[in-house]
A and B are shown apart, each in its own frame.
Chain A
Amino acid sequence: MTVESTAARKPRRSSGTKRAAGASTRKTAAAAQSAAEPQLVQLLTPEGDRVETADNAEFLPYVEDITAEDLRGLYRDMVLTRRFDSEATSLQRQGELGLWASLLGQEAAQIGSGRALRDDDYVFPTYREHGVAWCRGVDPTNLLGMFRGVNHGGWDPNSNNFHLYTIVIGSQTLHATGYAMGVAKDGADSAVIAYFGDGASSQGDVNEAFTFSAVYNAPVVFFCQNNQWAISEPTERQMRVPLYQRAAGFGFPGVRVDGNDVLACLAVTRWALERARRGEGPTLVEAFTYRMGAHTTSDDPTRYRRDEERAAWEAKDPIERLKAHLLASGDADEAFFAELEQESEKLGKRVREAVRSMPDPDTMAIFENVYADGHALVDEERAEFAAYLASFEEGH
Chain B
Amino acid sequence: MAAEKMSIAKALNESLRKALETDPKVLIMGEDVGKLGGVFRITDGLQKDFGEDRVIDTPLAESGIVGTAIGLALRGYRPVVEIQFDGFVFPAYDQIVTQLAKMHARALGKVKMPVVVRIPYGGAIGAVEHHSESPEALFAHVAGLKVVSPSTASDAYWMLQQAIQSDDPVIFFEPKRRYWDKGEVDVEAIPDALHTSRVAKAGTDITLAAYGPMVKVCLEAAAAAAEEGKSVEVVDLRSMSPVDFDGLQRSVEKTRRLVVVHEAPVFLGVGSEIAARITERCFYHLEAPVLRVGGYHAPYPPARLEEEYLPGLDRVLDAVDRSLAY
Q: Which residues of A pack against B, CB within 8 Å?
A: 2-4, 124, 151-158, 163-164, 166, 168, 171, 173-183, 185-186, 204-205, 208-209, 211-212, 215, 368-373, 375-378
Contact = CB atoms under 8 A, between A and B. Distances in A.
Given A3-B52, A179-B75, A204 B91 contact: yes
Interface string B99-117: 1001111111111110000
Contacts of A175: 67-68, 70-71, 74, 99
B72 A178 contact: yes
B20 to A, nearest CB: 14
A208 B168 contact: no
Contacts of A3: 52-53, 56
A152 B106 contact: yes
B242 interface: yes
Given A154-B106, A168-B99, A178-B68, 15 more contacts: A152-B105, A153-B107, A156-B110, A163-B74, A175-B70, A177-B71, A178-B72, A179-B74, A182-B72, A204-B61, A205-B64, A211-B59, A376-B245, A376-B246, A378-B242
3 closest Cβ contacts across the A-B interface?
A178-B71, A174-B67, A182-B75
A209 B64 contact: yes
B108 A151 contact: yes
Contacts of B66: 174
B58 interface: yes
Interface of B: 51-53, 56, 58-59, 61, 63-64, 66-77, 91, 94-95, 98-99, 102-113, 143-144, 146, 166-168, 195, 241-246
B163 to A, nearest CB: 11
Given A175-B70, A178-B74, A208-B64, A372 B167 contact: yes
Given A370-B105, A372-B109, A205 B74 contact: no
Report which residue of A2, A158, A369, A370 has the largest number of chain B beta carbons within 10 angstroms of its beta carbon.
A369
A191 to B, nearest CB: 13
A38 to B, nearest CB: 28
B244 A376 contact: yes
B107 A156 contact: yes
Contacts of B53: 2-4, 185
B127 to A, nearest CB: 25
Contacts of B106: 152-154, 164
Nearest to B64: A208
A178 B52 contact: no
Contacts of A205: 63-64, 67, 94-95
B104 A369 contact: yes
A168 B63 CA distance: 13
